Amino acid sequence: MLDASSFGVVCVKVRTANDLKLIMDALTPELTLTQDLIINDKVLEEGKQLGLLGKEMVDSRMQLEQLISEAHNLDEQGRYDPVIDMSFLNMSSMKDSCSQIQKQMQKQEEDKRKQEQAQLQAELDEEDMREDKQLLEEAGDLSYKIPKREWDSQFVQDSSPQKVASGRPNLEAKTTEKRITRYMTAEPDDKGVVKVYIDDPDVANASKDNISVTFSMSTYTVRVASSPSLVLGPIECGVIDPEESSWRLSQGKRLTLSLVLSEAGKNNFQQKKRWEEFEAKVKAQKEKKKEEGDDVAEPPARPAPVAPAAPEGPPPMMPIDTPGASYRNLGLAGLVALLAVLIGLWLSSRQ
């Protein structure tokens, strides 16, 4: 329910040209008061905005002046006939109230959608129970007793091997497939079961023997043997239990898949739901700050790693020790030693 008491509506009657001049001088182009005024014992606080002139909504000074000149006459004594009725109010409170109404409407629509989904689920569960009961009645005796079989005497007497019909399969035959597009996935229920409803007419009217549904740890695939064959999947569905998951055909209506989430799948769904709620909350806060005029600063990006600067100039040369160089150095050292010995002998002989 809309709370109009927070609008702060103040209605004044402007009778003279002096009062109108005081108001017009204090109005901005957006019709907002820049100072407090007292008109005929009515207090107009700074920040209030002119919303109505009589019963007409105004949003500019030009429109205000035009409406006054067309509907009100100024006599020789400086009085207006008829009196000008002006209504001032808090536009920020009005915007907040409108936002509140919008949120209430969205919540009502969400509750209505959940109620319709719960009603549809209840109808489908009731229909499944009726089909189960019908299948049990049609199945008859489900005991482990082996029924008697009557063998044809022709097959008993003639047991010689028979030649199969000749002919090679046509390996060049091309199989065409058609994608299934009409299906809907519901939210997980309290037991962690996700329902998938396939209402494609070709699937709903197909024979149960021609339908094959395969469940894996995180996907499901539906195939219908027809011409052309119908295929859906593999479709990602979170972490499920393939053994507990099942499917049911409502002839002429729909094919229903029951995907049972494992513990890991339930945790992933809860984390995803909390993350979506967090993103919605952050988005709402940003929009609110944007409406208030505050600049929303984006978080700084992580700086890219900077590689160390390479030293200037070529790298220092390292001595290269090769086998040929080692032999040359050894020979040169021997020659120097021999020369030193000969000089010593020559000096000793002269003495």
When divided into structural domains, the chain yields a total of 2
Give the total residue count for the chain: 351
Is residue 17 situated within a structural domain? yes
The DSSP letter of residue 244 is: T
CB contact set of 244 (below 8 Å; sequence gap of 6+): 260
Which of 51, 77, 95 terminates a domain? The answer is: 95
Query: Could you read off the pLDDT of 120-158 as tens digits, one per residue?
Result: 888 888 888 888 888 777 776 666 666 666 665 555 555
Report the b/e string of 95-116 with b at 16+ CB within 10 A.
eebeeeeeeeeeeeeeeeeeee
Considering 217, 237, 265, which residue would you say is the last residue of a domain? 265
> Is residue 144 in some structural domain?
no
Q: Is 44 among the domain residues?
A: yes
Whether residue 168 is contained in a domain is answered as: no
For the stretch 19-78, pLDDT in tens is 889 898 988 888 888 998 888 888 888 888 888 888 888 888 888 888 888 888 989 888
Instruction: Divide the 351 residues of the chain into consecutive groups of 10 and give the mean pLDDT of each group.
Output: 61 90 89 88 86 85 88 89 88 69 84 89 87 78 65 56 57 67 83 86 86 88 87 84 86 86 77 81 83 58 48 50 62 79 77 62
CB atoms within 10 A of CB 215: 20
Q: What is the mean pLDDT of the chain?
A: 78
Whole-angstrom CA distances from 294 to 78, 96, 99, 291, 300 are: 45, 17, 18, 8, 18
Cα dihedral 285, 290, 295, 301 sign: positive
- Domain assignment of residue 27, yes or no: yes
Give the CATH number of the domain where residue 236 resides.
2.60.40.790
Domain-embedded: residue 59: yes
| pTM strictly above 0.75 | no
Boundaries of domain holding 47:
4-95
Residue 35 resides in a domain: yes
Q: Could you give phi then psi for residue 146, rounded to 5 degrees?
A: -80, 125
The verdict on whether omega for the bond into residue 228 sits within 30 degrees of 0, i.e. cis, is yes
The whole-angstrom separation of Cα 351 and Cα 343 is 13
Q: Letter for the amino acid at 44?
A: L
Domain boundary among 60, 95, 130: 95
Answer yes or no: is 79 within a domain: yes
